[in-house]
A = this chain, B = another copy of it.
Amino acid sequence: MWENFPAIKDDLAESYAVMEKKVRIRNKEVETTIHDLLHSGGKLLRPAYFILFSRFGSATKKKHKKLIYTAASLEILHMATLIHDDIIDDSPTRRGTPTVQAKYGKDIAVYTGDFLFTVYFDLIADSTDSFSTIKLNAFTMKRILIGELDQMHLRYNTDVTLRQYLRRVTGKTAQLFSLSCFEGAQMGKADLKVITSSHHIGHNIGIAFQILDDILDYTENSEVLKKPVLEDVKQGVYSLPLILAMRGHQKEFAPYLKNGAAMSQEDVTMVLSLIDKYQGVEEAKNLAERYTNKALKGINHLPEQPEKQLLLALTKQLLNRNY
Name A's B-contacting residues (CB within 8 A). Answer: 25-27, 30, 84, 87-88, 106-107, 110-111, 113-115, 117-119, 121-122, 124-126, 128, 131, 134-135, 137-139, 141-142, 145-146, 148-150, 152-153
Whether the pair B88, A146 counts as a contact (CB closer than 8 A) is no
Whether the pair B138, A121 counts as a contact (CB closer than 8 A) is yes
B30, B110, B149: which contacts A88 (Cβ < 8 A)? B110
**Copies in the assembly, this chain:** 2
Whether the pair A121, B149 counts as a contact (CB closer than 8 A) is no
Give the secondary structure class of A's interface: helix
Within 8 Å CB of A134, what residues of B?
121, 124-125, 134
B106, B115, B146: which contacts A145 (Cβ < 8 A)? B115
Whether the pair A138, B125 counts as a contact (CB closer than 8 A) is yes
B25, B111, B139, B149: which contacts A27 (Cβ < 8 A)? B149
Whether the pair A122, B149 counts as a contact (CB closer than 8 A) is no
Within 8 Å CB of A87, what residues of B?
106-107, 110
Asked whether A27 and B146 contact (CB < 8 A) given A110-B84, A110-B87, the answer is yes
B26, B88, B119, B124: which contacts A107 (Cβ < 8 A)? B88
Within 8 Å CB of A150, what residues of B?
27
